[in-house]
Amino acid sequence: MADYRIGVVGCGGRMGQMLAREIAGTAGCALVGGTEVAGSPFVGRDLGEVAGLGPMRVKIGADAKALFADADAVLDFTRPKATVEHARLAAAAGKVLVIGTTGFEPDQEAAIVEAAKRAPIVWAPNMSLGVNLLIALVEQAAAKLGPDYDIEIFEIHHRHKVDAPSGTALALGEAAARGRKTKLADVAARGRDGITGARKLGAIGFASLRGGGEVGDHTVMFCGESERIELTHKATGRQIYTRGAVRAALWARGRPPGLYGMKDILGLD
């Protein structure tokens, strides 16, 4: 079988470069191209040199539509507005899209869901195997422990992260809410300051810290009257995300249109 042709949008950024290296180093995969926004200093440069792979004679472009035409799958860890447009391009071309972008507004999420009717799209706030196991455990714990245990979600990321809470923290909150058979939007407490009053029964709280070069730590605390249970994942390198993204792309090869997540890929259901 011919190599699976994979491209990267946002290939000049830190994650984009890591994704390019992961594709190039994965058996059965071929790194066929990458794009950056028009006007970026990376446009026109050799993709291999930018990614630290050595010359590839493949220039970074600014035309995402052309990349979708050439690739079998595209990996996207960019920004919500750009990702929505990439989802539409994936739908038009019928190509696999793997989304690791976070921070979407409801209308942007709806656009991705609509695009998945015409293309296989894997969308996960975190591509890590460990994080997705944590999400499954949180849902189970929330269901078993019930509302007598207060749920607090703590996360810390590097100083450059632009959204808070992190997409992973929100996914953990959604899992906890599912376990309690409620909606996160109805019970989330996403900011506390000043005289807040007593904690509301059933609330799911969030605390976000930003600083230094932290890759990402997430802890879900179940606080009872006389005990506290903590479920924690600590990321020590970003390779966990790139490996997961390439694995997701390979899994989606030949799949029918639809919106998939890491649960599907890992068989966590």
**Is residue 153 located within the same domain as residue 220?**
yes
Tell me: the pLDDT tens digits for 9-47? 999 999 999 999 999 999 999 999 999 999 999 999 999
Examine the domain organization and report whether 146 and 74 are in the same domain.
Answer: no
Is 247 in contact with 26 (CB distance < 8 Å)?
no
The reply to whether 55 and 179 lie within a common domain is no
Q: What is the CATH number of the domain that holds 151?
A: 3.30.360.10
Minimal CA–CA distance to 78: which of 99, 95, 108? Answer: 99
E strands present in 71-227: 73-76, 96-99, 120-123, 150-157, 188-189, 204-210, 216-223
DSSP label of 256? P
Residues 102, 12 within the same domain: yes
Tell me which residue range forms the domain holding 173: 129-235
Do 113 and 170 reside in the same domain of the chain?
no
Residues belonging to the active site? 157, 161
3-state secondary structure of 58: coil
Q: Do residue 19 and residue 116 come from a single domain?
A: yes
Is the same domain home to 94 and 134? no
pLDDT in tens, 203-234: 999 999 999 999 999 999 999 999 999 999 99
Q: Say whether both 68 and 159 belong to one domain.
A: no
- Region class of 18: left (phi > 0), else alpha (psi between -120 and 50), else beta: alpha
113 and 243 share a domain?
yes
Are 227 and 247 found together in one domain? no
The reported pLDDT for the residue numbered 1 is 53
Q: How many folded domains does the chain comprise? A: 2
Strand partners for 258: 120
Tokens standing for 207? Answer: 């605390």
The pLDDT tens digits for 57-71 are 999 999 999 999 999
Q: Say what percent of the chain tops pLDDT 90.
A: 91
**How many residues are given for the chain?**
269
Helix (H) or strand (E) holding 110: helix 106-115
- pLDDT tens-place string over residues 90-136: 999 999 999 999 889 999 999 999 999 999 999 998 899 899 999 99
- Give me the chain's average pLDDT, please: 95
For residues 92 and 8, membership in a common domain is answered with: yes
Is residue 30 located within the same domain as residue 67? yes
Mean pLDDT lowest among 156-165, 180-189, 223-232, 260-269? 260-269
**Domain of residue 97, CATH code:** 3.40.50.720
